[in-house]
Amino acid sequence: MIEEGTGALPVEGVPADRVLAEIRALRAADRPTHGGRLFAYVYDPGVAGLDELARAAYAESAHVNGLDPTAFPSLLAMENALVGAAARLLGGGPGTSAPEVVGSVTGGGTESLILAVKAARDARPDLAAPRIVVPASGHAAFAKAAHYLRVALDTVPVDPATLRPAVADVAAAIRPETVLVAASAPAYAHGVIDPVAEIAAVAAAAGVRCHVDACFGGWALPWLRRLGAPVPAFDFAVDGVTSISVDLHKYAYAPKGVSVLLHRDAGLRAPQYFGYADWPGYTMVNPVIASTRSGGPIAAAYATLRHLGEAGYLRLAARTREAVSGLADAVRAVDGLRLLAEPESTVVCFTSDDPGLDLFVLVDELTARGWHTQPQLAYAGLPASVHLTVTAAVAPRVAEFGPALADAAAVARAAGPVVLPPEVRALAASLTPEELSPELIAGLAAGLGLGAGPAPDRMAAVNTLLDAAPVPLRERLLVEFVGLLQRPTW
């Protein structure tokens, strides 16, 4: 909490050292961003000195504005270098089958996916009602893009055993109004790589763009392949792949937020731009959603790539692969738990086959032991699961995780599953989002320990309620619950 008198706008300015002390005090309540115990949200290579380098590079360009590349050529040079590095890693550039690859640096994977959908939509101005085809395992950012851009979203189910879409189902979902077909390399939830070559082929046969969402794995899979992992073709070496997104703030280990959106050629990228001159101010030309952009993240990413180099990334990939293997073994050693998919990238995902071992209680018990995992709710025949995003910094911790997981599972089994009151479960099963009144939301939130301030340490009851709710109600509850947390301090 922010102490009284220390709000963002005091009457008199506060000395710099005190301001920094306040920020450090606030940060003390956060999940640990380093040390290999947080399996979501952040990507830690465990490389000494890298944070300091990135911070220094960020500071050098923090006030540089990406709005006008002619005013700040340093930023343009670094952006072009990052795009070139990503393109070369993902099968494009001189001497490849995609020699004319171009790209843009965006603020994150969601922005990259929104822009990929925008480019595809705006390339077809003849269509009054454009559509996109996305596997159900595709990132939620595709749904966000469809919502923002008023594009219809056609979702293709995934096989509950393989966790992949059937190519025939993808082909059947393509209509004359389809402007984009998506595939993931890998899909975030389970770490499974879609059949990209086959999906791209059916898209190409229909004359439709194919975007590969490699935001999560695009900077990891190429190095894993060099280490001998059986990574299938997913990049510009695949005919029919027209664009790829890859986040540098994930496995390139750059600070947030830097992503790269690549197109096979400049013609495909052209509709991504927004240009406007019909006003008396400066002519606006934007390749991405933001106009003003700090050069800090781009400079930090450039410094990170230059410092680590190919050899550094190969070493980090080897360390990550070792950690994935060890964590998977730890899961296999616990009765009642099973891997939802054999790891093929940088994800370990597991579920419980034991009705007495509640995954949400297990997640809370792991949190209490200092291990921060990501619970995933049941969906369309797929069970609830626990997601572990594995980074190089996890490798030294693997030996500790196995005993912690076994102990947490034993305690969770002894505690038993969360039992919702019958009336609450009945409400969750029968209510529509429109029937959620402010009073009902307030009552549910109070019963779950939610309100102004940080979320409770134990989230099993909240997750159990959300898991019991149909998807539309689940979405509304999440919006309302997060809205309770995001309130101004006065």
Check residue 227 and report its DSSP letter: T
State percent of the chain over pLDDT 90: 84
Q: What is the pLDDT of residue 5?
A: 55
pLDDT at 1 over 60: no
Check residue 279 and give its pLDDT.
96
Burial 93-115 (b: 16+ CB within 10 A, else e): beebebeebbbbbbbbbbbbbbb
The count of C-alpha atoms lying within 13 angstroms of the C-alpha of 127, restricted to the half-sphere facing its C-beta, is: 18
H/E segment holding residue 19: helix 16-27
**Domains of the chain: residue spans and CATH:** 60-303 (3.40.640.10), 422-485 (no CATH)
Rounded mean pLDDT, 282-307: 96
Cα–Cα distance for residue pair 186/195, rounded to 1 Å: 10
Q: Which residues lie below 8 Å from residue 277, measured CB to CB, with a gap of 6+?
A: 283, 284
How far apart CA 335 and CA 413 sit, in angstroms, is 11
Q: Tell me the C-alpha distance between 323 and 2, whole Å.
A: 38
Nearest alpha carbon to residue 180 among 203, 201, 148, 197: 203
Extract the runs of DSSP E, i.e. beta strands, from 254-411. Answer: 259-263, 274-276, 284-286, 337-339, 347-352, 374-376, 385-389
- Per the CB < 8 A criterion, the answer to whether 232 and 91 are in contact is no
Mean pLDDT, to the nearest integer, of 360-385? 96
Tens digit of pLDDT for each residue in 160-185? 999 999 999 999 999 999 999 999 99
Is the Cβ–Cβ distance between 106 and 116 less than 8 Å? Answer: no
- CA–CA dist 311, 166 (Å, integer): 37
Candidates 291, 148, 313, 172; CA nearest to 246 is 313
Q: What is d(CA 63, CA 201) in angstroms, rounded to the nearest whole number?
A: 44
Q: What is the pLDDT of residue 430?
A: 83
Q: Is residue 11's pLDDT more than 80?
A: yes
How high does pLDDT run on average in the chain?
Answer: 94
Check residue 50 and give its pLDDT. Answer: 98
What pLDDT does residue 422 have?
Answer: 85
Q: What is the mean pLDDT of residues 3-32?
A: 87
Least confident of 350-354, 370-374, 430-434: 430-434
Say how far apart CA 360 and CA 418 lie, in whole Å: 8
- CA trace torsion 264, 270, 271, 272 (10° rounding): 80
| Segment 240-275, tens digit of pLDDT | 999 999 999 999 999 999 999 999 999 999 999 999
* pLDDT in the model for residue 454: 64
In the 8-state DSSP scheme, what is residue 175? -
Decide: 449 and 484 in contact? Cβ < 8 Å: no
Check: CB of residue 409 under 8 Å from CB of residue 334: yes
Separation CA 316–CA 94 (nearest Å): 27
Q: Cis omega (within 30 of 0) on the bond before 125?
A: no
Q: If pLDDT is split at 50, 70 and 90, which confidence band does 374 have?
A: very high
Nearest to 155 by CA among 182, 129, 115: 182
Span 296-330, pLDDT tens digits? 999 999 999 999 999 999 999 999 999 999 999 99
Q: Percentage of the chain surpassing pLDDT 70? A: 98
pLDDT digits (tens, 9 = 90+) for 200-236: 999 999 999 999 999 999 999 999 999 999 999 999 9
Amino acid 480: pLDDT: 87
**What DSSP letter does each residue of 54-112 carry, written as one string?**
HHHHHHHHTT-BTT-TTT-HHHHHHHHHHHHHHHHHTT-STTSS-TT-EEEEESSHHHH
Instruction: Give the model's pLDDT for residue 448.
Output: 74
Beta strand 284-286 pairing with 274-276: antiparallel
